[in-house]
Amino acid sequence: MPRDEELAARLQDRDEAAFASLVDSWSSGMLRLARSFVSTDDSAAEVVQEAWLAVIEGIAAFEGRSSLKTWVYRIVVNIAKRCGSRESRSVPWSSLSPTGEETGPTVDPNRFRGPDEPYAGHWREFPARWPAPEQQTLAGEIRSQVAVALDQLPDSQRIVITLRDIEGYSSAEVCSILDISAANQRVLLHRARALVRGRLEDYFAAGGHDEKRIGGEA
């Protein structure tokens, strides 16, 4: 992929090959992000299509203050928020300080040492190591459980963990895309990761995997 300056210049020159390359490379991530704001896959696809049109129309105004991809994703968020609002599924980003159900503990506090114990705040017992997904079947099961866990997250947490852990954005980039503070980003990401991990811990504890698939013949 060319550097941002070169890529932006090619887009500003209406280079169709450069635009097609971006569509191929970025659309799947844009769809995942848009789907966090709207209620159907079709709505997410419409958001992405509208976003690409906005990119074409607005590329001349791109000044390089952020990466090109961050700029494009910010367009996706703005359009998706508007569409989500029409569907009554908008996330109030202006008040993203965790409140209500999001302020509760994400992990049972009894699993940590108390303030009067040695190493206060540390695990009493470290969480069990998850089986390594050495075979494709097990890896598919884990991906399925992660997808279920993501679907169960509050919208704000799902959007942040999607950008950080699936799309690979840095904390600063996520704050820029979503216009939220670093502190709120950290809280939302921590809670999202903890809830996803809890889902997987429950899955393995319940015997949701087949030991034969991990360790061979019994």
| Number of structural domains in the chain | 2
- CATH number (domain holding residue 154): 1.10.10.10
pLDDT (tens digit per residue) in 69-96 = 999 999 999 999 888 877 765 555 544 4
Domain end call among 86, 118, 149:
86
**Residue 152 shares a structural domain with residue 210:** yes
Stated as kind and residue range, the H or E segment containing 192 is helix 182-205
For residue 173, give its domain range: 129-218
With respect to residue 105, please indicate whether it lies within any of the assigned structural domains.
no
**Residues 136/138/141/143 CA torsion (nearest 10 deg):** -60
* pLDDT tens sequence across 8-21: 999 999 999 999 99
Co-location of 68 and 142 in the same domain: no
Same-domain status, 78 and 133:
no
Strand partners, 210: none
Whole-prediction pTM = 0.66
User: Does a structural domain hold residue 104?
Assistant: no
CATH code, domain carrying 16:
1.10.1740.10
Residue 162 domain-assigned (yes or no): yes
Task: Examine residue 120 and state whether it is found in any structural domain, yes or no.
Answer: no
Is 139 inside any structural domain? yes
Q: Reduced to 3 states, what is the DSSP secondary structure of residue 82?
A: helix
Same domain, 134 and 216: yes
pLDDT-derived band at 49 (thresholds 50, 70, 90) equals: very high
Query: 99 is written with which tokens?
Result: 């409140």
User: Do 47 and 37 meet the contact criterion of CB atoms below 8 Å apart?
Assistant: yes
Residues 145 and 198 in one domain: yes
Give pLDDT tens digits for 181-208: 999 999 999 989 888 888 888 887 776 5
Q: Verify that 69 and 133 share a domain, yes or no.
A: no
Question: Where a domain ends, among 86, 121, 146?
Answer: 86
DSSP letter (8 states) at residue 60 = G
Q: Based on the fold, state whether residues 218 and 147 are members of the same structural domain.
A: yes
For 50, phi and psi rounded to 5 degrees? -65, -35
